[in-house]
Chains A and B, each alone.
Chain A
Amino acid sequence: MKGEWDQRADVFKNVMKPAWAQQADGPLLECVPAALQAKYVQNELQKLSWSMNMEIKQRILHLHAVWPCRRSRWWALLIPSGCQMHDISNLPGASPYPSLEYIFARWPVWPDEVERELQLDEEELNMFHSKFYGNDIRHLRMNQAAPCILHSYGSVLRECPCGCRGKFSMWRLQRVGIRGFYFMGNSSKEWFLHVMEAAYLCTILPSTRFPHVPRDSLCPTGQCAAPMQALWIATSWTILCKTFMDLHNKHC
Chain B
Amino acid sequence: MEVHPDGALITSARLQSVRLMGPALEPLQKVTLYDVKESQGSESYVLDKYIPSNDMVDLTPFKEVTSGIGGIGMRAMYLGMKCLALLDINDMVALPLRQMVTSVSSRATSTVHRFDIVFNVMKRQEVGSSVASHANPFPPKET
Name A's B-contacting residues (CB within 8 A). Answer: 11, 15, 18, 20, 23-26, 28, 30, 50-53, 80, 82, 161-164, 202, 204-205, 208-212, 216-217, 219-221, 223-228, 230-231, 233-235, 237-238, 241-242, 244-245, 248-249, 252
Contacts and interface: CB of A to CB of B under 8 A. Distances in A.
B113 A238 contact: yes
Interface of B: 12-13, 30, 32, 34, 54, 59, 65-66, 68-72, 74-76, 78-79, 81, 90-93, 95-96, 99-100, 113-120, 122-123, 126-127
A15 B66 contact: yes
Nearest to A22: B63
Contacts of B79: 231, 234-235, 238
Given A18-B65, A162-B92, A220-B96, A241 B74 contact: no
B116 A204 contact: no
Contacts of B71: 30, 202, 204, 224-227, 230
B122 A80 contact: yes
A161 B114 CA distance: 40
Contacts of A223: 68-69
A208 B99 contact: yes
21 contacts: A26-B116, A28-B72, A80-B122, A161-B92, A204-B74, A209-B99, A210-B96, A220-B69, A221-B69, A224-B69, A225-B71, A230-B71, A230-B72, A230-B76, A231-B75, A231-B79, A234-B76, A238-B115, A241-B115, A244-B122, A245-B114
Nearest to B72: A230
B116 to A, nearest CB: 4
A242 B72 CA distance: 20
A234 B75 contact: yes
A158 B115 CA distance: 43
Given A211-B96, A234-B81, 12 more contacts: A25-B115, A25-B116, A26-B119, A30-B72, A51-B13, A162-B91, A202-B71, A204-B71, A208-B96, A210-B95, A225-B72, A241-B114
B92 A25 contact: no
B29 to A, nearest CB: 11
B95 A211 contact: yes
B115 A220 contact: no
Contacts of B92: 161-162, 211-212, 216-217, 219-220
Contacts of A245: 59, 114, 118
Contact of A248 (B34, B70, B93, B118): B118
Contacts of A233: 72
